[in-house]
Amino acid sequence: MDAATGRFTAMASPCEVLVDGADAAELRRVTRVVETEVRRIEQLWSRYREGNVVHRINTAGGRAITVDDETAQFLDYAAHLHAWSDGLFDVTSGVLRRAWKFDGSDRVPAQSQVDALLPLVGWDKVSWQSPVLQMPMGMEIDFGGIGKEYAVDRACALARYATSLPVLVNCGGDLACTGPRANGEPWQVGIDTGVPGAATPLVKLSQGGVATSGDANRFLLKDGVRYPHVLDPRSGWPVTGGPRAITVAAQTCTEAGVLSTVALLHGAGAEEFLNDNDADSSLTW
């Protein structure tokens, strides 16, 4: 039996709320709870919104900014991830998008363009004493690497309180569930990697979350080399030669997103990295 499904669009992604056994009224109620939370986090942290905490940080011009408790906890997590990944995960790397436009063309930037931006990248250049953040002028924060996954986890947690029925939240392929389906079986989710002709990974999910990172939709292609959209913040360049898509299941969607993204930055060593971290993963080459 198919679960009742509610839909909305947020964070530039199609979003779904699957509620197993819900009638129309309960589906609307749970979908409203999920959508409200996803939009709240989008408003709070989107770099495309003016007036939010990220905008205040990014336009501070070198001044210190005091952040709210939720943002402070997320910055603590970002600092932890930077140390854990040896600098591969860095929330200050978003400024590199000024040089890189992953539109499927062959317009790879010159090394000089990338070099000009590297002084503006690096969590180690940031002064962070919770709840006060201070960055050199021109540096920016971008939560795009884990913001959507965090929103999925938060929305799923609220859905657990909103209904006793099993719920699965899916935002653009990043998803989490409150538990197994009503019959005790896991949710079965086919992951669209976007890679033409590739097999569709089937994930069986009874708890936790799933996230996928890849280059199917955002890339550059020049002289036979495919440049994925995830950039190494230390060099300012994509890591080539890795999988086209990496799907990871973990205790949370946020954890799955971190593992899949950092694995992509290991290039040809992605599988070894995932094995070293005991990750439940599927790779498409």
- Give pLDDT tens digits for 75-126: 999 999 999 999 999 999 999 999 999 999 999 999 999 999 999 999 999 9
pLDDT value for 101: 94
Residue 277 lies inside a defined structural domain of this protein: no
Distance CA 6, CA 196 (A): 28
Residue 118: give its domain's CATH number. 1.10.3980.10
245 part of a folded domain: no
Q: Which domain holds residue 105?
A: 60-134
Residue 196 lies in a domain: no
Average pLDDT of span 153-161: 97
The CA-CA-CA angle for residues 273, 278, 282, to 5°, reads 70
Give the chain's mean pLDDT: 94
Q: How many CB atoms lie within 10 A of CB 245?
A: 25
In a domain? residue 86: yes
Please state the length of the chain: 285
Q: Which residues pair with 225 in a beta bridge?
A: 222
- Tokens 């080459």, located at residue: 285
pTM of the model: 0.94
Note whether residue 74 is domain-resident: yes
pLDDT of residue 217: 78
Judge whether residue 1 has pLDDT over 70: no
* Number of folded domains that form the chain: 1
Tens digit of each residue's pLDDT (9 = 90 or more) over 168-200: 999 999 999 999 999 999 999 888 777 777 778
Q: Is 113 within a domain? A: yes
Q: If you search the block for the tokens 């499904």, which residue do you land on? A: 5
Residue 75 forms part of a structural domain: yes
In the chain, the amino acid numbered 216 is A
Tell whether 106 is covered by a domain. yes
Q: How confident is the model at residue 203 (pLDDT cuts 50, 70, 90)?
A: confident
Q: Is the pLDDT of residue 201 over 80?
A: no
* Vertex 61: Cα angle to 56 and 65 (nearest 5): 45
What is the rounded average pLDDT of the residues 217-231? 90
Number of Cβ within 10 Å of residue 60's Cβ equals: 17
Which residues have CB under 8 Å from 142's CB, separation 6+? Answer: 47, 54, 91, 92, 93, 94, 95
Q: What pLDDT, in 10s, does the model give residues 36-56?
A: 999 999 999 999 999 999 999
